[in-house]
Amino acid sequence: MHCIPDEPDFQDGQLAEKALWDALRAQLPDDVVLAHSVQVRHGRAEHEIDILVLWPGVGLAAIEVKGGLVSVEKGQWYQSDRTGKRKLPSPIAQAQGAQHAFKDWLKDRLGSSLTSRFAYMACLPYTTVPADWQMAGIPRGLIIDQAGMSNCAVLIRHAIEKEAQGGSALAAKYLGRIIPHLSGDFDPDSSPAGDADELEARQDQLTERQKVLLNSTRAIPRARFVGGAGSGKTWLAVEKARRLAKDGQRVGLFCYNKGLAEHLRREVSTWRQAKPVFVGEFHEYVRSLGVPDGTGQEYFDQEMPRLLKQLAAHLPVEAKLDVVVVDEAQDFAPLWWEGLLACLKKADDGGVFAFMDERQNVYGRWDAGTAGTSVDPTANLVTLHIDENLRNTKRIAHTFRGFSGEHFLPRGGDGLPVRVIDCATEDALDVASDCVDVLIEEGWARNQIALLTTKERHPVHQEAFEANVISEYWQAFHDDDAEFYGHVLGFKGLERSVVILCVNGFKNMARAPEQLYVGLSRARCLLMVVGDQKLIAEAGGRDLELALGRADIWVSSA
């Protein structure tokens, strides 16, 4: 029998999995492939198949194994052991989710869909399940209990043939194509892109730990979460909006940039429970309430929010919001805030949550006022600081540490060295474009790469702008199927595995530090900085000059 791995290292908490593994090794035919702990990712979601059976001439089975005593009460699964009784996700639902993820993963690897019969099952080695038990959507034949362990191979075959999706048996040749991808054998000299999944999985796990911050501040009705680049602010903003909407409140989730707005909409579209009543750009919301569109920057910065404030005074209470949640709140001009807060049911004490980084004030909307003081419309909110950087590797984080404040704390893995490509400013765009081809030759996937400029747009970006297809342009970015060409100003709140920061000049040197800060902090795994290093040092200051001085001076091998 082909086992992957040959001898799994079962830990103390995996005794139930070991029991099923041993039983199957004793009962299954020699031509069956048996795999333990198959890890698969579906988008950003991670799944695990405890035991995967690949049976030539029959089909496949993904089996979720649960130890202890398992029970079901009013549709809720429970697991009891010596530590007590606790709620349990449906093991059948877990197996089903992992099965779908495995099929999608396999399609990406092999280029064709899996059409063989594929069952999802649960095994409860220490629990007795009544023979006539069944639950909506879960036939009894999908469960292997304690009594079934003695003939579990027969039960699996029966489930594949009678309950599984797909209409054909698993062909031996197709199985032969699957095995190398399950085994995962690789050459130690493989592509540097191989580290990206591990690094990003760690970063995602760190970000999810930020839930404790929301849990500990749930009684605060108005707050601003202030943190540096990569501290998980966008994730927190989305999670805060999700919790508030789930509580039955009318929530508006706002931002300024189109690219970030598309990201927020896509995140919310996956929710099954209640959703915010609005998700997207501030100006989209204003137009949705009936304020007419206009032209000119002055109209959008001043007149439009004034019209919103006037309109809000006559909005019926049922059309107003209980809470506003604003991501990249430093992008919102003071007049925008006034208009937005006027749309609250309780303008003075309605819910307000701002997620922000004052050091990314790239649009200058909070610059000093006439009295020389900073204009900060969120100053009266309770301030909560987020000091940890979770998005970037340590090597990337240290390049922009000088912009992030004294409490900045990188938490990512070490990662790959930052690459510096010194060239004349007028050549930066061509050199950066060549870097895209070199990265693809190295083994990076196209959809892992973003090229960001600091002054003129890249020709691909400019073409989309002139064709007035910016909406489709951002949809293509989030569809995640090709390299992306953008500008640092439009990429705030977004990220990619690899970022080529093309410093092709600055329209305003006073805003250059903020632009560099944004651009340097967008890469999760690999950062390349292309441009005149003297100009970059002048714009970014001594800390950035020293940081880039420690990076790899990189020359393409192409």
pLDDT tens for 137-162 read 899 999 999 999 999 999 999 999 98
**CB of 218 within 8 A of CB of 289?**
no
Mean pLDDT of the chain: 88
Q: Name, in order, each residue with C-beta under 8 angstroms of 373's C-beta and a sequence gap of 6 or more.
A: none
Does the pLDDT at position 373 exceed 50?
Answer: no
Lowest mean pLDDT among 343-357, 366-380, 518-532: 366-380
pLDDT score recorded for residue 434: 94
Phi-psi region of 232 (alpha: psi -120 to 50; beta: other; left: phi over 0): left
- Only one residue has tokens 């190295």, namely 442
Report yes or no: 170 and 55 within 8 Å, Cβ to Cβ: yes
**C-alpha–C-alpha distance, residues 288 and 280, integer Å:** 11
Would you place residue 558 in the very low, low, confident or very high pLDDT band (cuts 50, 70, 90)? very low
Contacts 24+ apart (CB under 8 A), 178-183: 178/33, 178/54, 178/106, 178/110, 179/2, 179/4, 179/33, 181/106, 181/109, 181/110, 182/4, 182/33, 182/35, 182/38, 182/52, 183/4
Above 70 in pLDDT, residue 193? Answer: no
Query: 372 pLDDT exceeds 50?
Result: no
For residue 185, the model assigns a pLDDT of: 62
pLDDT in tens, 362-371: 777 777 554 4
Amino acid 370: pLDDT: 41
Mean pLDDT of 164-192: 74
Cite the beta strand spans of 342-402 per DSSP E. 351-356, 382-386, 388-389
Q: How many CB atoms lie within 10 A of CB 141?
A: 15
Q: At 202, is the pLDDT very low, low, confident or very high (cuts 50, 70, 90)?
A: low
Cβ pair 119, 159 in contact under 8 A = yes
Q: What was the pLDDT predicted at 203?
A: 66
Question: CA dihedral defined by 273, 276, 280, 284, rounded to 10 degrees?
Answer: 140
3-class state of residue 70 by DSSP: strand
pLDDT digits (tens, 9 = 90+) for 463-522: 999 999 988 999 989 888 899 999 999 998 899 999 999 999 999 999 999 999 999 999
* Weakest mean pLDDT among 59-68, 151-160, 201-210, 390-399: 201-210
Residue whose tokens read 């919103």: 308
Q: Which span out of 165-169, 197-201, 272-276 was modeled with the highest average pLDDT?
A: 272-276
Cα 229–Cα 517–Cα 262 angle in degrees, nearest 5: 60
Position 290 pLDDT exceeds 60 = yes
CA 482 from centroid of its chain's CA atoms? 17
